[in-house]
């Protein structure tokens, strides 16, 4: 039944008959509308709270991504430094005069 049908019914009472200040009758149809409005407000409040929670986790995710990128960059730099040190060490050992085995040909 639509609201228009409801308002045109014979037993529909105007709010003045109930003395209500809201300007509505006190029938079940109006109570159902009030319940639906209350549920909508509660749902909207819950959506706002969930949105705040989503924003918090997005922010945390961005922080973790940034931290991860910094750590990856740090690892790359450490690997490059290790490679450079290894090369320097290898060059140092290759330029050092080594004791060569001298073979005497006794023929």
pLDDT digit string, tens, across residues 18-42 = 445 555 566 788 889 999 999 999 9
Q: What is the mean pLDDT of the chain?
A: 81
Residue 53 has a pLDDT of 98
Residue 42 has a pLDDT of 98
pTM for the full model? 0.46
Q: In whole angstroms, what is the distance from residue 105 CA to residue 51 CA? A: 89
Judge contact between 86 and 94, C-beta under 8 A.
no
Residues of the chain with pLDDT under 50: 18-19
Per domain, the residue ranges of the chain are 3-66
Q: In whole angstroms, what is the distance from residue 85 CA to residue 72 CA? A: 20
């Amino acid at each position: 039944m639509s609201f228009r049908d409801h308002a045109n019914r014979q037993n529909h009472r105007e709010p003045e008959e109930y003395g209500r200040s809201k300007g509505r009758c006190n029938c079940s149809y109006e109570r159902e509308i009030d319940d639906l409005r209350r549920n909508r407000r509660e749902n909207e409040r819950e959506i706002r709270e969930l949105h705040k929670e989503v924003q918090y986790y997005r922010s945390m995710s961005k922080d973790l991504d940034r931290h991860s990128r910094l750590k990856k960059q740090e690892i790359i730099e450490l690997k490059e430094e290790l490679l450079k040190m290894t090369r320097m060490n290898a060059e140092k050992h290759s330029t050092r005069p080594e004791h060569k085995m001298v073979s005497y040909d006794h023929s």
